[in-house]
Chains A and B, each alone.
Chain A
Amino acid sequence: NAGVTQTPKFQVLKTGQSMTLQCAQDMNHEYMSWYRQDPGMGLRLIHYSVGAGITDQGEVPNGYNVSRSTTEDFPLRLLSAAPSQTSVYFCASRTGTGITGELFFGEGSRLTVL
């Protein structure tokens, strides 16, 4: 069971370039989300999805787009990267049923924008 898989693990971009961070889960989870983590700060929610075809904004959505065409995948797109988007990005998922409340996180994608 792979859990939540993020790719790439490391990426360096130049200002203005675009890229997509991939997130896939094999647990048939309904909920998926993206967080960013900056030094000295907690995790901040970027976007989340409660199921295929449904997405919504979190605390810091500007500069990021998401889509959810399948239950398994939740890619995060940076259309025009800025140095302020240098961060570690975490994808997380959980089941939509039951009351466990447990979020499963990926190992992170470390992005540097020059």
Chain B
Amino acid sequence: DAKTTQPTSMDCAEGRAANLPCNHSTISGNEYVYWYRQIHSQGPQYIIHGLKNNETNEMASLIITEDRKSSTLILPHATLRDTAVYYCIVRVLNSGGSNYKLTFGKGTLLTVNP
């Protein structure tokens, strides 16, 4: 799996957009970019994933550069409840394969301030 690099921590003002970067310069053509987050003392929560195109759902937007070497997770209007560790993960998706694993790094601690 391609390795990812994320900043250790970031701050964001409540109500503003939070833009979380992730570098994955060794990503291969069949690897997806996933984002999860972990609010303190809870289990990780899936946010979004994508391959090439930008993706949006009710939680966030995922912007993947054209060369796919980096991506940005955007929380459009951050709230205090978005304070969490955000994990960027790159993985081949085995939709019917013999195994499926995600490797979590240390992620980015996003602190949303009032």
Contact = CB atoms under 8 A, between A and B. Distances in A.
B42 A42 contact: no
A96 interface: yes
Contact of A103 (B32, B102, B107): B102
B43 A107 contact: yes
Contacts of B93: 99, 101
Contact of B42 (A4, A102, A108): A108
Given A48-B99, A96-B96, A108-B41, A103 B46 contact: yes
B43 A94 contact: no
Nearest to A44: B104
Contacts of B7: none
Interface in B40-54: 41-46, 49
Interface residues of A, number: 30
Contacts of B99: 48, 50, 56
Contact of B101 (A58, A90, A106): A58
A70 B101 CA distance: 20
A98 B34 CA distance: 16
Contacts of B36: 103
A10 B114 CA distance: 32
A94 B106 CA distance: 22
A99 B95 contact: yes
A52 interface: no
Contacts of A104: 46
Nearest to B95: A99
Nearest to A56: B99
